Amino acid sequence: MKLDFRRLLPDEIQAKVKVETQTSVMLLLYKDARVDMAILDETVGKMNWQRHHVGVNDNMFCAVDIWDDDKKCWVSKSDAGSESQTEKEKGESSDSFKRACVNWGIGRELYTSPPIWVNVSDSDYSQGQKRRLKTVFSVADIEYDERGNIIYLILEDQKGLNRFTYGKKHGKEVPKKKPLVEIPEVIADSLPDGEIPYDPKDAYNRLCNIKPKEQVNALLKAEHIGNFSDITPAIFKDLLIKLGRAKPVNATDSGLLDGEDIPFGG
Per-residue pLDDT tens over the stretch 206-249: 788 778 888 888 888 888 787 767 777 778 778 887 777 665 54
Are 115 and 221 contained in the same domain? no
Q: What is the pLDDT of residue 85?
A: 52
Mean pLDDT of 59-70: 93
Q: Judge residue 162's burial from the number of C-beta atoms within 10 Å of its C-beta, 0-12 exposed, 13-18 middle, 19 or more buried.
A: middle
Residue 153 lies in a domain: yes
Q: Which of these three, 119, 145, 167, is where a domain ends?
A: 167
**164, amino acid identity:** F
Based on the domain organization, do 136 and 218 belong to the same domain?
Answer: no
CA atoms within 13 A on the CB side of 23: 0
Q: How far is CA 164 from the centre of its chain?
A: 15
> Cα separations (Å) of 215 from 207, 263, 265, 266?
10, 9, 11, 11
Q: Which of 91-95, 101-105, 141-145, 147-151 has the lowest mean pLDDT?
A: 91-95
Q: In angstroms, rounded to a whole number, what is the distance separating the alpha carbons of residues 20 and 119?
A: 10
Q: Tell me, yes or no, whether 204 lies in a domain.
A: yes
Cα(94)–Cα(82) distance, rounded to whole angstroms?
9
Q: How far apart are CA 28 and CA 36, in angstroms?
A: 18
Q: How confident is the model at residue 106 (pLDDT cuts 50, 70, 90)?
A: very high
Q: How many domains would you assign to the chain?
A: 2
- pTM exceeds 0.75, yes or no: no
What pLDDT is recorded for position 257? 39
pLDDT at 76: 96
pLDDT digits (tens, 9 = 90+) for 149-208: 999 999 999 999 999 999 988 754 444 444 444 433 333 333 344 434 456 777 777 788
> Does residue 214 share a domain with residue 148?
no
73 and 139 in a single domain? The answer is yes
Instruction: Tell me: do 122 and 222 sit in the same domain.
Output: no
* Domain residue limits at 73: 10-167
